[in-house]
Amino acid sequence: MKMTGAQIVIETLLEQGTDTVFGYPGATVIDIYDKLESRKDQITHILAAHEQGATHAADGYARATGRPGVVIATSGPGATNLVTGLATAFLDSVPMVAITGNVSTGMIGRDAFQEVDTTGVTMPVTKHNFFVRDVADLAGTIREAFRIAGSGRPGPVLVDIPNDVQRDTCNFEPAPLMPLSKPEKADDDEIACAAEMIAECRRPFIYFGGGAVRAGCGEEILALADKIGAYIGCSMMGLSEIPSDSPRFLGMQGMHGHFASSVALAKSDLMIAVGVRFSDRATGKTDRYALNSKKIQLDCDCSEIGKNVSVDLGICCDIKDFLARLTQAVEAKELPEWDEKVASLRKREIHAYEEDEFLPREAVKAIGDIASPATRIVTDVGQHQMWTAQFYEFRQKHTWISSGGLGTMGFGLGAAIGASLATGERSVLVTGDGSFGMNLNELATAVTYNVPVTVVIFNNKVLGMVRQWQTLFYDKQYSSTTLSRKTDYVKLAEAFGARGYRADNIEEFREVLAKAYAGEGPAVIDLAIDPDAMVLPMLRPGGSFENLVTWKEAEEGND
Amino acid sequence: MTKDKIIIAVYVDNKFGVLSRVTAMFTRRGFNIDSLTVGETESPEYSRITITLSAGKTDKEQVVTQLRKLYNVKKVVVLSGEDCIKRELLLIKVKNSEENRPVILETANIFRAKVIDLGEEAISIEVTGDSQKIDGFIQNVRNYGIIEMCRTGIVALDRGSTSIWSYHED
């Protein structure tokens, strides 16, 4: 059937099963929007307040469902506004397809109005991008974009379509979905090698991350750990893949990881790393990282093997399949000495956290009490993010949505909107007054579409994470981290058309949280937090896990 | 860590913008390219890029695996130093004078170089060979005065009847 390029865009999106797109119209995508309107019974377009918010929403949609998020933007500033969202998705391996318009092919390269080299600008922050010069290539390119975005290690793909290509016509043939390419299964001898290393170890530890989430191999990790007596930790990106109360799970690794998890990994003699890239925020200084352990690394991306930490056995493979076969192949182990050691570490951790009443922890627990197991917990970036990561008890997969690799302040509100729209359920955004200020315009989007999002602002009136570093390592010189703002968040929420609440302590917070949860649409809670509250324990910059900043030290004001 | 000089042959789609994707990966990951050549191959849909660089073991693995992740990259092979044929082309313009001409021509002869243009003030010479030979030639004519020169960087093929496609990637 003869179709215009703009129609082909919509038809191929439908072919891919797209039900929701996020975006913002402009001169060079008018044609696409025109055709989108005539298919609005099949594709819902969510008009964001800003293209960055639209990308974060597409990202949140993808993280909540595993399906690629789709975002549409116009040329020039529309396209450059996507950059932070694309980079966020790229660093966290989130499948996304971005469609941008550009000036007509005859105007390309002449610095036309709202022209930018979109594929050039986005090349380093996408898995791949395309510039479509001929309408005959358009359908194939969009199909390929979806295939690339979802295959292997997922990531964002951008398709840039000049305006005249959207208006040109060609024949369109519907096509069946292209199968995603999958990582290869490991050889038997690789499994045998890993099994041999497991047979020899006395203190095994499984460390998993975002790659395990994408592979959906939480059950396999738990089964392997049970059989070989291993303890489990995860990177921030791995949270929610296994239930937080799993008996062998010690919690998050890294700069603000759980004490027992970090120390147990440092003491282990065998690390099985599953879908992690050994980010510096997770390892500290690599030359002092996990020195006592032999290392097995599993990843679907071959370039991750040995990239940041050298390993004894690196296997680039389908990790879910590998873990299942490995569990079959190994002999069951009992390791009472290791159990004892870990039990004593756990005792010290519980003791450290139960001192005094700590409002950030109580608030996160209160959210857990009211939220359903399926509630998507979304965060921005900073102290509130780490507290949520540390204290929230995850019960179901894909319920943790947070910007890990890029650490994008302003990610949260868009992502929470995307997650709520994807699941049809209320999601909770835990944010800070700094992060919320970056993209709070998306409150308008949440109100317009009546999106059930509960926003909890941990309002300490400072940029808390940087301030914490200034307290500990910069002689308390609080350079540009004290926000002398007079923003009234209750009024602000109401001005946008949302409900606003305020709480100064945990009792008030529980009360307003229940109200926020009971009503319809978006609600904002302004929760007052002590500006000096810290995220602990903390790995010193460039330090090792043997030498964490603990609660006691921080209280005494010692570095 | 000890660094070796390595030669990497990369088959890429012969398409608009592919070279910049390949070089961008080197820039982004901080690998320094010594030389890079690119040209057509036996099949019109692919170009062959030959890259030489100095790298330790980890960097070498990173370069190869990161290249393989690029969508337009179809094949990446590290050519082993001894078993491959390496050639580079030099075009060089040396100052001509009555007293120096015989010795310049004699040098060209020894290196089996070709004189392409002979003028009153300059002799233009073409030299083909591996990089050491080219370096040697430049060293020998330097004293007579080099007006201008350019070299292509290395192109390389493995010896024998195999092709890049017959390598197993691992």
Which domains are seen in chain A, by residue range? 2-171 (3.40.50.970), 188-351 (3.40.50.1220), 359-532 (3.40.50.970)
- Nearest C-alpha of chain B: how many angstroms from A510? 48
For residue range B19-67, list pLDDT tens digits in order.
999 999 999 999 999 999 999 999 999 999 999 999 988 899 999 999 9
pTM for the predicted model, two decimal places = 0.94
Reply yes or no on whether the pLDDT at A285 is more than 90: no
A282: part of which helix (H) or strand (E)?
Answer: helix A280-283
A402 alpha-carbon distance from chain centroid: 4
Burial class for A452, CB neighbours closer than 10 Å (0-12, 13-18, 19+): buried
> Across the interface, do B66 and A303 touch by the CB < 8 Å criterion?
yes
- Rounded distance, CA A7 to CA A395, Å? 42
Q: Is B30 on the interface with A (CB under 8 A)?
A: no
pLDDT score recorded for residue A284? 82
Which of A47-51, B91-95, B155-159 comes out lowest in average pLDDT? B155-159
Return contacts of A107-114, CB within 8 angstroms, 24+ apart.
A108/A162, A113/A27, A113/A76, A114/A26, A114/A27, A114/A28, A114/A74, A114/A75, A114/A76, A114/A77, A114/A78
Which tokens sit at B72? 């337009």
Q: Is A301 on the interface with B (CB under 8 A)?
A: yes
* Span A166-178, average pLDDT: 96
- Rounded distance, CA A57 to CA A55, Å? 5
Q: Which residues of A touch B28 (CB under 8 A)?
A: 124
Q: Does domain B85-155 have CATH number 3.30.70.1150?
A: yes
Contact A317, A185 (CB under 8 A): yes
Contact A417, A62 (CB under 8 A): no
Closest CA to A8 of A36, A27, A45: A36
Which tokens sit at A536? 């602990």
Picking from A123, A148, A306, the nearest residue to B21 by CB comes out as A123
DSSP-derived letter for residue A403 is -
Residues whose CB is less than 8 angstroms from the CB of residue A529 and which lie 6 or more positions away in sequence, other chains included: A359, A360, A458, A459, A460, A464
> What angle do helix axes A51-65 and A412-423 make, rounded to 10 degrees?
50
Q: Where are the beta strands (DSSP E) in A495-545?
A: 499-503, 523-528
Report how many Cβ contacts below 8 Å link chain A to chain B.
Answer: 27
Query: How far, in Å, are A182, A207, A213 from residue A238 at the CA level?
Result: 21, 9, 6
> Across the interface, do A131 and B17 touch by the CB < 8 Å criterion?
yes
A189: part of which helix (H) or strand (E)?
Answer: helix A188-200
Which tokens sit at A354? 């139960």
- Whether B85-155 and B4-79 are alike in CATH topology: the answer is yes
Instruction: Kindly list the domain boundaries of chain B, sorted by start residue.
Output: 4-79, 85-155
Q: Which residues of B touch A150 (CB under 8 A)?
A: none
- Nearest C-alpha of chain A: how many angstroms from B62? 6
* Span A293-300, average pLDDT: 97
- Nearest C-alpha of chain B: how many angstroms from A120? 9
For residue range A66-81, list pLDDT tens digits in order.
999 999 999 999 999 9
For residue range A362-420, list pLDDT tens digits in order.
999 999 999 999 999 999 999 999 999 999 999 999 999 999 999 999 999 999 999 99
Q: Where are the beta strands (DSSP E) in A380-514?
A: 400-401, 427-432, 453-459, 499-503
Residues in A 106-145 with any Cβ partner in B closer than 8 A: 119-120, 123-124, 127-128, 131
For residue range A324-335, list pLDDT tens digits in order.
999 999 999 999
Which tokens sit at A461? 């009136």
DSSP-derived letter for residue B126 is E
Helices (H), A297-374: 319-329, 336-353, 359-370
Pairing of strands A523-528, A499-503: parallel
pLDDT score recorded for residue A348? 83
- Residue A52 CA neighbour count, 13 Å, CB half: 18
Beta bridge partners of A190: none
Closest CA to A183 of A302, A325, A307, A306: A302
What's the CATH architecture for B4-79? 2-Layer Sandwich (3.30)
A306 φ/ψ sector (left φ>0, alpha ψ -120 to 50, else beta): left
